[in-house]
A and B are shown apart, each in its own frame.
Chain A
Amino acid sequence: GENVEQHPSTLSVQEGDSAVIKCTYSDSASNYFPWYKQELGKGPQLIIDIRSNVGEKKDQRIAVTLNKTAKHFSLHITETQPEDSAVYFCAATLSGGSYIPTFGRGTSLIVHP
């Protein structure tokens, strides 16, 4: 089955810096890669996603890149703000197939004011 590795497990940055979280996946058939943000006391919520026919997607300060050949994808947050502090999860899914997402173990992002 699919295996998703996520690094780092903890990331501490100063406000205004950029943050990068990286994930690798094992099943080359996976074709949908969502990123979720979990704030304290809440369930995870989708912040951005990318499909395998696209190499990059951007939404304001958040971007995701996908390298299918290397089987890795990354979340980039620019100009970080204290409200970006949360746990971030990557996932890989075979949509149209089993559609059961496989999650990374999460990254705790701390943005210091």
Chain B
Amino acid sequence: DVKVTQSSRYLVKRTGEKVFLECVQDMDHENMFWYRQDPGLGLRLIYFSYDVKMKEKGDIPEGYSVSREKKERFSLILESASTNQTSMYLCASLDGSGWNEQFFGPGTRLTVL
């Protein structure tokens, strides 16, 4: 059974803290994505990566960075968390052809106090 796993389901952090969200996929997919999901706004792309050590900004990269040191792992970093980063964060992976489905993780609900 293919899987995308995320390190935490729920996370509570303080303003100004550095936050790491981890995502691991076991499908040997080239492409990985980080989305933010807010009510009424759908899925907004933060960053994506099409290969190890490669990254591209999505639609809302401000306040975030990413790291992809290994093919299976894609990390989202909030350098200094702010209350407006309280949200649901979803990781996804996709094979190189682009014709197939994205596989999503279960999400991390981050609350920044």
Listed in ascending order, the chain A residues whose CB lies under 8 Å from chain B are 6, 9, 32, 34, 36, 41-46, 49, 51, 89, 93-97, 99-101, 103-106
Q: Mark B68-97, 1 if CB is under 8 A from A, else 0.
A: 000000000000000000000010101001
Distance (Å) between the CB of A25 and the closest chain B CB?
14
Listed in ascending order, the chain B residues whose CB lies under 8 Å from chain A are 4, 31, 40-43, 45, 48, 58, 90, 92, 94, 97-99, 101-102, 104-107
CA distance A101 to B106 in the complex (A): 19
Say which residue of B58, B90, B94, B98 sits within 8 Å of A44 (CB atoms).
Answer: B90
Say which residue of B41, B99, B107 sits within 8 Å of A32 (CB atoms).
Answer: B99
Say which residue of B4, B41, B97 sits within 8 Å of A95 (CB atoms).
Answer: B97
Are A103 and B98 in touch, CB under 8 angstroms?
no
User: Known contacts A43-B4, A43-B107; is A101 also within 8 Å of B99 by CB?
Assistant: no
Closest to A31 in B: B99
A–B Cβ pairs within 8 angstroms, 13 of them: A9-B40, A36-B102, A42-B106, A43-B90, A43-B107, A44-B90, A89-B42, A93-B98, A99-B31, A105-B41, A105-B42, A106-B42, A106-B43
Chain A residues with CB under 8 A of B105: 43
CA distance A93 to B40 in the complex (A): 21
Distance (Å) between the CB of B92 and the closest chain A CB?
8
Chain A residues with CB under 8 A of B102: 34, 36, 44, 46, 101
Are A43 and B104 in touch, CB under 8 angstroms?
yes
Are A45 and B104 in touch, CB under 8 angstroms?
yes
Say which residue of A41, A99, A104 sits within 8 Å of B98 (CB atoms).
Answer: A99
User: Known contacts A41-B106, A42-B106, A100-B48; is A89 also within 8 Å of B43 by CB?
Assistant: yes
